[in-house]
Chain A
């Protein structure tokens, strides 16, 4: 049996007909064509499939699409704003926090939520925050650096400089 569902993805209401068993990850990728969300294990360990559900990061491979009918989802495609890359995305670029890029969408979603809840995380809070995301390429060092850098960029954005630099 198929179910008619509506997901508000990156601000746009999208409809799909899916069987009950369709994973949110597959729904986003294959029913809605948003292939930025990646799938690396389908058992919840790698974090590649992490998306924001009503702002909270969740595993889309461990969520049925029907369960989240009517809810808001943000994927990597929705992170950049009209002015371009988000501070988190910029920090990842600046710090060389990605190589093959397969884990990256999951990290970006996780870190976006992390910094919203904790704008200036300490080192161990960063590690804890990204501890559910695997990366096989970078050895994480530059990802950790990028999270701190993103926190700086976000702080700058919140506090537009009051004047020119001295």
Chain B
């Protein structure tokens, strides 16, 4: 079969095991492991006076109960602040088990280990924690007011404040540009909390054999969990292995590490000398993992008669919950990616990242971009409305032109590098979208509207990923990379890359991800970076292997390496098919042993004469074995882009919103596997529709999460998701060898903006807060009935 598989819709190699129940997720492991469960705070804010575990001690099957006091020094320290930033002046992280104060409902207080999860929960129910309830801080504006504090030593509840200013080309500040603009608008936007909500929760399984610790975690970064665990438990790195087995979805929440449980479960396994496993249940996932999205944005914009933005001034209140283990990545991304495909005259953005007594906020697919896009796209729509112009015309007037790349936005991106867009063709993309949805022919009537939204997504951030490729003497190719997979089809996409680079049938290639035993250095799977960073690293590693294979084969065939090519797993001289040598044999030659232990090795001896007795069997500078390792470190991010449009119908009586059509044009550079990319887009859009119309985290004034179940947190079913029509544009990235950008997060980013735009169009009044429920649309109608 053809080995040029890059770009083909190759069927997934992971599917067979997942379709037959042979997948291995964390809870499928360790059938004999002890089970951990946690007593979690029922209060949003309280001081712990006393913990009485005595009643639990009689539970049959109880093995251990731990409170913070029981933890040794290293284990009991506050969890690391993973991504410090100079603006994060008051970063705070939690203790693995609460020390004196709990700061959100769900914070772990006591860990119980028992024979099984049923018994562990029985024991938890009998543990009495005496709390002195404190008034909680709930709601962004109340928190920003600062009358009550989440952390005594964080004045005003402000964890970080960051101001970024980009002057216009004429040097004017944003505020001045707005003041002097022919038209100005000012408004406020709100986005509520949502969450990644993978169907598999978190989970940790640990086994200690006296010297080595092996941890399985449902994580997006096994390499970093490994380092965090080794550090917390004081173990030398080579004695800790962390494996991300099959992972049932991540969408961001599983990039956070180490979770308290990722430290405590391995520690308990070591302390008890028994296998211990913790499988998060759904309620725990709601109240003790992480959420995202909530922001309030105050916007001022100045623009000219064509709708060109002259100055934009955005002030953001960002709710980061009770702790900041993941730093301020989310609001930084919001404030930079807000600019989208546009040239904004002068830009001023200031965010305050605020503590509240709620679950912590860390990236969820899109990671701050949906909020930024919501802001910019609402702004574009408002400008169009103000000027009486078509909404696409205003966008077109502000686009960066295709000949302006690389385009420097004049800011610093989340990776600390300049925000320079690598490539794109936004006008063409918009034209394709308008064509696909039938923008110009759309018949507007009350209760039927069309909306549009554009975004640019910085993908493939560094610092690096690596790939290792080994050809064994049976002709099989073993590829490994450190980052993890949660359903993105990496085993397939990376195999396609390797097949194409090496000229080996994909059936002979196997790929392992997220297993530190196979590859120890990696950053993780987030920011749509896998295809870009690991994909290129694997391609580079393959190129090393290929070069070595050709070198050895050239020797054996007495040919010039430049005349050789590899097809179907065999190296041959171009134009002389008979002069060939299988890669399997090359692998044997690459590892010149004295022993003919199998047929391949024996066969290799026929070529052995080619090497001269005056030369060492392994060439100078070469290592034995047909393998290669390489790393890819992007200079800076690539920038994928997309534009979505939707047609909605709103019921005149019940105020239900129905998405009738949904269209996507997407550009993520060259596509490794279009089928997988399409699937990523579908999934992203579905999450976006959830975020726009169904999903929100509802906290009451006491800091209780009122909808911590799938009954009330309304993740859409098949019946709620429209059919998604897609079109692709491929502007290869000039920044990396494969020309790819990233695709993982794209689908979700503009959906709230697009649906708000369409509902606004159908209803004739502004929609400035998302998500929107029928009840809320009904309220809006009443409020605007007088207009």
Closest chain B residue to A39, Cβ basis = B27
* 18 A-B residue pairings within 8 Å (CB atoms): A36-B21, A42-B282, A43-B282, A43-B711, A45-B709, A94-B11, A99-B487, A100-B200, A100-B248, A104-B18, A131-B718, A132-B717, A134-B717, A137-B487, A139-B682, A139-B721, A140-B717, A142-B679
A89: chain B residues within 8 A (beta carbon) = 19-20
A64-72, A73-81, A113-121: which lies at the interface: A73-81
B489 within 8 A of A: yes
Interface pair A45/B199, CB less than 8 Å apart: no
Within the complex, the shortest CB–CB distance from A4 to chain B, in Å, comes to 18
A127 within 8 A of B: yes
Interface pair A98/B19, CB less than 8 Å apart: yes
Interface pair A41/B282, CB less than 8 Å apart: yes
Q: Which residues from 18 to 47 on chain B have a C-beta closer than 8 Å to any C-beta of chain A? A: 18-25, 27-28, 31
Knowing A35-B21, A93-B19, A127-B718, say if A141 contacts B198 (CB, 8 Å).
no
Closest chain B residue to A22, Cβ basis = B118
A108: chain B residues within 8 A (beta carbon) = 19
B710 within 8 A of A: yes
Within the complex, the shortest CB–CB distance from A105 to chain B, in Å, comes to 6
A14 within 8 A of B: no
Interface pair A141/B724, CB less than 8 Å apart: yes
Interface pair B248/A102, CB less than 8 Å apart: yes
Q: Which residues from 716 to 741 on chain B have a C-beta closer than 8 Å to any C-beta of chain A? A: 717-719, 721, 723-724
Interface pair A140/B686, CB less than 8 Å apart: yes
Closest chain B residue to A135, Cβ basis = B199
Contact code string A76-93 (vs B, CB < 8 Å = 1, else 0) = 110110000100010011
A21 within 8 A of B: yes
B615 within 8 A of A: no
Q: Which residues from 129 to 166 on chain A have a C-beta closer than 8 Å to any C-beta of chain B? A: 130-144
A136 vs B685: C-alpha distance when bound (angstroms): 11
A35 vs B248: C-alpha distance when bound (angstroms): 13
Most buried by B among A75, A77, A127, A137: A137
Knowing A100-B248, A140-B721, say if A33 contacts B489 (CB, 8 Å).
no
B676 within 8 A of A: yes
Knowing A85-B19, A141-B723, say if A100 contacts B679 (CB, 8 Å).
no
Which single member of A29, A34, A103 contacts B199 (CB below 8 Å)?
Answer: A103
Interface pair A40/B199, CB less than 8 Å apart: yes
A40: chain B residues within 8 A (beta carbon) = 199-201, 248, 282
Interface pair B200/A139, CB less than 8 Å apart: no
B14 within 8 A of A: yes
Most buried by A among B251, B489, B683: B683
A96: chain B residues within 8 A (beta carbon) = 11-12, 675-676, 678-679
Listed in ascending order, the chain A residues whose CB lies under 8 Å from chain B are: 19, 21-22, 26, 29-30, 33-43, 45-46, 48, 75-77, 79-80, 85, 89, 92-94, 96, 98-105, 108, 127-128, 130-144
Within the complex, the shortest CB–CB distance from A28 to chain B, in Å, comes to 10
* A-B contact sample (10 more), CB < 8 A, given A42-B281, A101-B19: A35-B25, A43-B711, A76-B19, A98-B12, A102-B199, A127-B718, A133-B717, A135-B199, A136-B199, A141-B721
A38: chain B residues within 8 A (beta carbon) = 25, 199-200, 248
B687 within 8 A of A: yes
B618 within 8 A of A: no
B368 within 8 A of A: no
Within the complex, the shortest CB–CB distance from B13 to chain A, in Å, comes to 10
A141 vs B721: C-alpha distance when bound (angstroms): 8
Interface pair B715/A134, CB less than 8 Å apart: yes
Which single member of A36, A100, A130 contacts B198 (CB below 8 Å)?
Answer: A100
Within the complex, the shortest CB–CB distance from B248 to chain A, in Å, comes to 3
Interface pair A30/B31, CB less than 8 Å apart: yes
A129 vs B622: C-alpha distance when bound (angstroms): 60
B648 within 8 A of A: no
Most buried by A among B21, B23, B117, B248: B21
A133 vs B562: C-alpha distance when bound (angstroms): 56
B79: chain A residues within 8 A (beta carbon) = none
Interface pair A100/B249, CB less than 8 Å apart: yes
B247 within 8 A of A: yes
Closest chain B residue to A101, Cβ basis = B18
A13 vs B282: C-alpha distance when bound (angstroms): 32
Q: How many residues of B contact A (CB 8 A)?
A: 58
B628 within 8 A of A: no
Q: For chain A, what secondary structure do more than half of its interface residues adopt (helix, strand, loop), or is it mixed?
A: loop
Most buried by A among B19, B27, B116, B678: B19
Count of CB-CB pairs between chains A and B under 8 Å = 171
A98: chain B residues within 8 A (beta carbon) = 12, 15, 18-19, 487
A108 vs B281: C-alpha distance when bound (angstroms): 23
Which single member of B16, B22, B683 contacts A136 (CB below 8 Å)?
Answer: B683
A34 vs B18: C-alpha distance when bound (angstroms): 13
B678: chain A residues within 8 A (beta carbon) = 96
Closest chain B residue to A94, Cβ basis = B11
Interface pair A45/B686, CB less than 8 Å apart: no
B488 within 8 A of A: yes
A141 vs B680: C-alpha distance when bound (angstroms): 11
A33: chain B residues within 8 A (beta carbon) = 31
Closest chain B residue to A99, Cβ basis = B487
Interface pair A92/B718, CB less than 8 Å apart: no
B454 within 8 A of A: no
Closest chain A residue to B17, Cβ basis = A101
B534 within 8 A of A: no
A104 vs B718: C-alpha distance when bound (angstroms): 14
Interface pair B682/A142, CB less than 8 Å apart: yes
B570: chain A residues within 8 A (beta carbon) = none
Contact code string B63-89 (vs A, CB < 8 Å = 1, else 0) = 000000000000000000000000000
Interface pair B118/A21, CB less than 8 Å apart: yes
B676: chain A residues within 8 A (beta carbon) = 96
B215: chain A residues within 8 A (beta carbon) = none
Within the complex, the shortest CB–CB distance from B533 to chain A, in Å, comes to 20
A100: chain B residues within 8 A (beta carbon) = 198-200, 246-249, 486-487
A30: chain B residues within 8 A (beta carbon) = 31, 116
Q: Which residues from 253 to 312 on chain B have a C-beta closer than 8 Å to any C-beta of chain A? A: 281-282
Interface pair A99/B21, CB less than 8 Å apart: no
A34 vs B24: C-alpha distance when bound (angstroms): 11
Most buried by A among B14, B18, B488, B683: B18
B331 within 8 A of A: no
Within the complex, the shortest CB–CB distance from B745 to chain A, in Å, comes to 13
Within the complex, the shortest CB–CB distance from B498 to chain A, in Å, comes to 21
A102: chain B residues within 8 A (beta carbon) = 25, 198-200, 248-249, 487
Interface pair A101/B14, CB less than 8 Å apart: yes
Closest chain B residue to A138, Cβ basis = B683
Which 9 residue pairs are nearest across A and B when measured between Cβ atoms? A36-B21, A100-B487, A102-B248, A101-B18, A139-B686, A139-B682, A99-B487, A45-B710, A35-B28
B684 within 8 A of A: yes
Interface pair B19/A130, CB less than 8 Å apart: no
B31: chain A residues within 8 A (beta carbon) = 30, 33
Interface pair A46/B12, CB less than 8 Å apart: no
Contact code string B654-689 (vs A, CB < 8 Å = 1, else 0) = 000000000000000000000110111111111100
A137: chain B residues within 8 A (beta carbon) = 249, 487, 679, 683
Interface pair A77/B719, CB less than 8 Å apart: no
A141: chain B residues within 8 A (beta carbon) = 682, 721, 723-724
A142 vs B98: C-alpha distance when bound (angstroms): 44
Knowing A100-B199, A102-B249, A140-B686, say if A76 contacts B710 (CB, 8 Å).
no
Interface pair A99/B683, CB less than 8 Å apart: yes
A104 vs B248: C-alpha distance when bound (angstroms): 10
B743 within 8 A of A: no
Interface pair B682/A130, CB less than 8 Å apart: no
B197 within 8 A of A: yes
B20: chain A residues within 8 A (beta carbon) = 36, 76-77, 79-80, 85, 89
B251: chain A residues within 8 A (beta carbon) = 136
Interface pair B715/A139, CB less than 8 Å apart: no
Closest chain A residue to B12, Cβ basis = A96
Within the complex, the shortest CB–CB distance from B102 to chain A, in Å, comes to 25
A41: chain B residues within 8 A (beta carbon) = 282, 709-710
